[in-house]
Amino acid sequence: MNIQFFGAAGEVTGSCYLVSGPGLRFLVDCGMFQGGADARQKNLHALPFDVRQLDFVLLTHAHIDHSGLLPRLTMLGYKGPVYTTAATIDLLKVMLLDSAHIQEKEAEWELRHRHRRNASLRGTPQPLYSVTQAMDALKHLRPVAYQEAFFPHPDVQVRFFDAGHILGSAMIEIRVGGRKLVFSGDIGQPGRPVINDPTPLREADVLVVESTYGNRLHRSLQETENELVEVLGRTLKERRGNIIIPAFAVGRTQELIYVLAGLIRAGRLAPMRLYVDSPMAKAATQITLHHAALLDAETRELIDWQRRHVHQLDVHFVADVLESMALNDVREGAVILSASGMCEAGRVKYHLLNNLPRAECAVLITGFQAAGTLGRRLVDGAKTVRIFGQQVPVRAAVHTIGGLSAHADQAALLGWLRNFRQPPQRTFVVHGEPSAAEAFAEMIRSRLGWQHVEIPGYRSETVL
């Protein structure tokens, strides 16, 4: 058996792993590269193998850095099934179409930009894929239940387990050739709101494990709530400004609604109207409520409270572009939660354009920001940023709220690994920037005593 690392190797995005052996070839994840000047080129040249020879695809969860190249996979000729959880399928019906819409709009923008510059570049800019091609990819999705074994190939048994990352997220156990392979996917932080804790697994011959926060610890939820209370109070009451919260439409938006509702119920925040300016976030919230059985008990109870007290936290989903544009005229008191979470696309860029130059406003960064993204530049303290071709001064306060991360921190990752009864024969550390992956690999060796721990390179191939 061989494994090739076609993404999330030496970086966080683009998860894609090709496992092959005699008479067998399959993918685990098919993610888009995000952030950085070379992301588009990497996406255009991803999947450098004959996709028609694949037997099946396994998908850990719906985030675009794990699923976003599925339409290109089918566009290039893949005809087989893509197995994932039912909740992930529901989310992908929204997320892949939204991603395709963004690809189309960016291609249109590039064409207009060339005309304005009288550029003579050859060819017409093309999207990575179209909405029609994304719809075709959805036809390949097949639902599987947590913990139930199934056989996507006569020689392969697979089980999905709750990864506690976002709704429907999974870690995947694969039995093939007398060996057990485990792909962690993205592992959630235990004890965080909304989603159940990650499932402990006990054994693996080969383990592929994420390391997004392999060199960091998160703040506690209590510390995070204290900071939210302080920032919201200072910005809304004292400075009389607005608060912009870039947030992933899936997972982070629902967590923030939960946390704010809990703080209001506890009397720590005054009643407020929360503008959720993201059509995808609205759809994802509806999907989350539809899959309430996957939520933890505390979240289900708080949802019931919020429904009975809608005047306390008035969650207003912004309906259309005109209503979104009208928020630009609001000069104070607005809490606007909008996608995308890394500030790379979507309506949040307009809200940043209008509020970053205002010292009375604040931006709350609540999730991981990949290298090269607008969100990362804000976190790193940029004094000016470019948005829609304009140089925008950053006068608003930028706060990083780390305790809401959907990814396990170093301690939680090590805690999950301690569930294994004995070290895997091979452990591959992926889905982390080099400093995080290297620190986490060394921690596995020193703290757990595991010897065969490797950090694969981009497009590297290893015999298992």
119 pLDDT more than 60: no
In what helix (H) or strand (E) does residue 150 lie, and over which residues does it extend? strand 150-153
Q: How do residues 206-237 score in pLDDT, each as one tens digit?
A: 999 999 999 999 988 889 899 999 999 999 99
H-type alpha helices, 29-142: 39-44, 64-67, 70-75, 86-117, 131-138
Q: Name the residue range of residue 264's domain.
A: 221-404
Q: Rounded to whole angstroms, how far apart are CA atoms 337 and 349? A: 12
pLDDT for position 117: 64
pLDDT for position 131: 95
355 pLDDT more than 90: yes
pLDDT for position 367: 79
pLDDT for position 194: 87
pTM of the model: 0.88
Mean residue pLDDT across the chain: 93
Whether 385 and 455 share a structural domain:
no
The CATH number of whichever domain residue 237 belongs to comes to 3.40.50.10890
Could you tell me which of 145, 149, 165, 168 has the C-alpha nearest to residue 157? 149
What is the C-alpha R_g of the chain? 22
Is residue 159 within 8 A of residue 149, CB to CB? The reply is yes
Whether 414 and 280 share a structural domain:
no
Looking at 404, 433, 454, which one is the last position of a domain?
404
Looking at 381, 404, 427, which one is the last position of a domain?
404
Mean pLDDT to the nearest integer, 246-270: 91
pLDDT category of residue 286 using cuts at 50, 70 and 90? very high
Q: How do residues 417-439 score in pLDDT, each as one tens digit?
A: 999 999 999 999 999 999 999 99
Whether 386 and 429 share a structural domain:
no
Kindly list the distances between the CA atom of residue 94 and the CA atoms of 13, 62, 212, 238, 318, in Å, as whole numbers in the listed order.
Answer: 20, 10, 25, 39, 17
Which neighbouring-strand residues pair with 19?
3, 26
Q: Rounded to whole angstroms, how far apart are CA atoms 376 and 371? A: 6
Q: Rounded to whole angstroms, how far apart are CA atoms 403 and 122? A: 47
Whether 231 and 212 share a structural domain:
no
Looking at 404, 428, 450, which one is the last position of a domain?
404
Q: Is 346 helix (H, G, I), strand (E, B) or coil?
A: coil
Is residue 402 within 8 A of residue 222, CB to CB? The reply is no
The highest-confidence range among 26-35, 105-114, 315-324, by mean pLDDT, is: 26-35
pLDDT for position 123: 64
Mean pLDDT to the nearest integer, 142-150: 98
Is residue 395 within 8 A of residue 201, CB to CB? The reply is no
Residue, of 389 and 45, whose pLDDT is higher: 45
pLDDT for position 373: 87
| Pairing of β 453-454 and β 426-430 | parallel
| Pairing of β 170-176 and β 156-162 | antiparallel
Whether 208 and 228 share a structural domain:
no
Whether 39 and 99 share a structural domain:
yes
Please give the order of strands across the beta sheet that includes 397-400. Answer: 313-317, 272-277, 335-338, 243-246, 362-365, 397-400
Whether 114 and 40 share a structural domain:
yes
pLDDT for position 392: 95
Mean pLDDT to the nearest integer, 165-173: 96
Structural domains in the chain (count): 2
Q: How do residues 72-99 score in pLDDT, each as one tens digit?
A: 999 999 999 999 999 999 999 999 998 9
pLDDT category of residue 364 using cuts at 50, 70 and 90? very high
The CATH number of whichever domain residue 25 belongs to comes to 3.60.15.10
Whether 46 and 119 share a structural domain:
yes
Whether 42 and 161 share a structural domain:
yes
Whether 438 and 373 share a structural domain:
no
pLDDT for position 120: 55
Percent of the chain with pLDDT over 90: 77
Q: Rounded to whole angstroms, how far apart are CA atoms 365 and 348? A: 12
Whether 382 and 425 share a structural domain:
no
Whether 199 and 50 share a structural domain:
yes
* Residue 340 CB neighbour total at 10 angstroms: 24
pLDDT category of residue 352 using cuts at 50, 70 and 90? very high
pLDDT category of residue 191 using cuts at 50, 70 and 90? confident
Percent of the chain with pLDDT over 70: 97
Least confident range of 101-110, 279-288, 368-377, 441-450: 101-110
Mean pLDDT to the nearest integer, 29-50: 92
